[in-house]
Amino acid sequence: MKIVFITSGGLEMGMGHVYRSISLAEEIAKFGNKVDIHFLTKSDDIVINKIKNSGFKVIKPKDYEGELELLKKINPNVVIIDRLNVQEYFVKAIRRSLDPKIVIFDNVSSANKYADVIVNAIVGSNFRNRKFWDSSTNSLYFYGPRYLILKREFYKYKKKKKTDKEKKILLIFGGSDPSNLTSKILNRIMMLKQDLDIEIILGPYFIYFDELNKILEKNKAKKERIKIYKDVKNVADKMHNVDLVITSPGLSMFEALYIGTPVIAICQNLLQKDTYSNFFPLINANEINNFSDFLDSRFLISPEEEYIKDLHIGKGKKEVIEAITNLNPMSKDKTISLRQAVDDDLELMMAWRSNPFVYDGFYLQNRPLKWEEHYSWWKSRDNRVDWIISLHGEEHSRDVGSVNVSFMDNDTPEIGIYIGEVTLWGRGVARNAVSLVINWLKILGYKIVRARIMKLNIKSLKLFEGLGFKKIGEGRKGEWVYELNLSVHEEEAQ
């Protein structure tokens, strides 16, 4: 599989698009040598070196026409565009000349109608998590902070509770910090009577060293409690080990909240204010000196607040990765296909799962579902992908069940399935659907996959045994655990 990232960053537009593209590329690169990743960027040497140092091939085209020529030469299966103001004619040209799967990040222009996948975690989302299919273009849309692609290291840290009193503070204001908030905030902190340890992360485009050094020299007595870092590889570790992060609204703010560190967010510009101020308590850069104490709790964004918990930051990463990498989710005989479950499927899924013939095979369900618990489960899913199984006939197609894979952050993900249309039980639908998931997991480079099956669920036991799964022991009470070695598994005749 060949994947091309087209991204931009630098002094004027920041590094957010570049960092996200690199993070996503690193996730996909974990799949091994079955994936060949290229970057195209018209940005400067700092961006190019950042990409190269992350281990990826990068080419600098002169213009849009140069990008198209390079795409034709590489002939990718997937093109991922992560930059500002994506032009319709450019995406349309890619579609007409190559017809790869096209994925666009943070874009609301008419170019989206030519894309297969659109991911707008912030832009246009109103901080509301939504996933839907546009039937007119057959495009899959991911909206909201659930679909933020965080750096890999953030997923390794457990959330923590806010301390009663902030003692260690981290300042981080992106790649360039155009308003020099680093110096301004440090100067304000130096005026406080509190003894605070300060850590500062400077981006590759930071230029205000003279002002920063003047503040340090003016406060020599406190200088030893200040640590300054550049080109930090593990920002998650820094954010996890402080009591408060002061940053601008954007990716760093969400990263800190994800691992449980409180944030004070200070706007760099009017665009940030317009985008975030209706949802988060913010401070404007030009108002810093007006506050008697800008560490006022009125401006604290706590990860313990319900409105922050409801954002489910970063939990949908695996869904985005599936949308990018699963190129052929259809059985060889074209009778069964998979598509990601979206918000509009919830009522149908609830109806299926409320059938006693279906839920008798579930471990944690012994009655029909209530909407509130079903919807709460849907919002809180993590490291998991759910598909709708569609059955295709000569005259029409219909949705007949659901298959999922969970615990995808582990080396041993787990497959679950139910066929909601019970008259289809025993007719090979479930077998074909599970085979499609197995083959995708093999592409991703997983070596082992498991299934948990109730001991009394004879049909499911036969299904998974027929696909080569071996019983490895007991799970929870009344449950067997089965395992399949994907490295020796032969692709099923779907």
Tell me: the pLDDT tens digits for 386-403?
A: 999 999 987 789 999 999
Do residues 120 and 45 both lie within one domain? yes
Q: Is the pLDDT of residue 124 over 70?
A: yes
Do residues 267 and 359 both lie within one domain? no
**Region 95-120 average pLDDT:** 94
Considering Cα of 365, then 371, then 374, then 377, what sign does the dihedral take? negative
- Domain assignment of residue 313, yes or no: no
pLDDT digits (tens, 9 = 90+) for 303-319: 999 999 999 999 999 99
Q: Beta-strand (E) ranges in 70-143?
A: 78-82, 101-105, 117-120, 130-134, 139-143
Do residues 255 and 370 both lie within one domain? no
**Region 221-231 average pLDDT:** 88
Q: List CB contacts of 392: < 8 A, sequence separation 6 or more.
A: 334, 335, 336, 337
Look over the chain and give the mean of its residue pLDDT values, rounded to a whole number: 89
Do residues 110 and 182 both lie within one domain? no
Q: Is the pLDDT of residue 269 over 50?
A: yes
Q: Measuring CA to CA, which residue among 399, 391, 288 is closest to residue 341?
A: 399
Residue pair 22/50 in contact by the 8 Å Cβ criterion: yes
- Domain assignment of residue 309, yes or no: no
- Domain assignment of residue 319, yes or no: no
Which domain-ending residue is among 152, 186, 205? 152
What CATH number does the domain containing 185 carry? 3.40.50.2000
**Region 275-291 average pLDDT:** 80
Which domain-ending residue is among 302, 337, 371? 302
Which domain-ending residue is among 120, 152, 184? 152
Residue pair 56/35 in contact by the 8 Å Cβ criterion: no
- Domain assignment of residue 278, yes or no: yes
Residue pair 463/437 in contact by the 8 Å Cβ criterion: no
Do residues 418 and 296 both lie within one domain? no
- Domain assignment of residue 257, yes or no: yes
Range from 88-92, 122-126, 338-342 carrying the lowest mean pLDDT: 122-126
Do residues 167 and 274 both lie within one domain? yes
- What residue type is assigned to position 17 of the chain? H
Residue pair 469/451 in contact by the 8 Å Cβ criterion: yes
Check residue 32 and give its pLDDT. 65
Do residues 274 and 409 both lie within one domain? no
Q: Which two tokens stand for residue 357?
A: 């013939």
Q: Is the pLDDT of residue 150 over 70?
A: yes
Do residues 479 and 350 both lie within one domain? yes
Q: Is 245 exposed, middle or buried (0-12, 13-18, 19+ CB in 10 A)?
A: buried
Check residue 494 and give its pLDDT. 38
Q: Is the pLDDT of residue 84 over 90?
A: no
Do residues 192 and 293 both lie within one domain? yes
Q: List CB contacts of 463: < 8 A, sequence separation 6 or more.
A: 417, 430, 431, 434
Check residue 289 and give its pLDDT. 66
pTM of the model: 0.91
Q: Find the helix or strand (DSSP H, E) in which 276 lies.
A: helix 270-276
**Region 277-282 average pLDDT:** 90
- Domain assignment of residue 323, yes or no: no
Q: Is the pLDDT of residue 292 over 70?
A: no
Q: Measuring CA to CA, which residue among 325, 340, 315, 487 is closest to residue 408?
A: 315
Do residues 402 and 279 both lie within one domain? no
Q: Which two tokens stand for residue 283?
A: 């401070």
Do residues 187 and 220 both lie within one domain? yes
Alpha-carbon gap, residue 467 to 238, rounded angstroms: 46
Q: Which two tokens stand for residue 342?
A: 């979206």
Residue pair 482/464 in contact by the 8 Å Cβ criterion: yes
Domains in the chain, number: 3
Alpha-carbon gap, residue 424 to 320, rounded angstroms: 30
Domain of 135? 2-152
What phi and psi, each to the nearest 5 degrees, are found at residue 455? -60, -30
Percent of the chain, pLDDT > 90?
66
**Region 184-191 average pLDDT:** 88
Do residues 370 and 429 both lie within one domain? yes
Check residue 492 and give its pLDDT. 45
Alpha-carbon gap, residue 401 to 390, rounded angstroms: 7
Q: Does residue 47 sit in helix, strand or coil?
A: helix
Range from 102-111, 114-123, 237-246, 283-292 carrying the lowest mean pLDDT: 283-292
What CATH number does the domain containing 133 carry? 3.40.50.11190
- Domain assignment of residue 390, yes or no: yes
- Domain assignment of residue 311, yes or no: no
Check residue 293 and give its pLDDT. 60
Check residue 392 and give its pLDDT. 93
pLDDT band at 355 (very low <50, low <70, confident <90, very high): confident
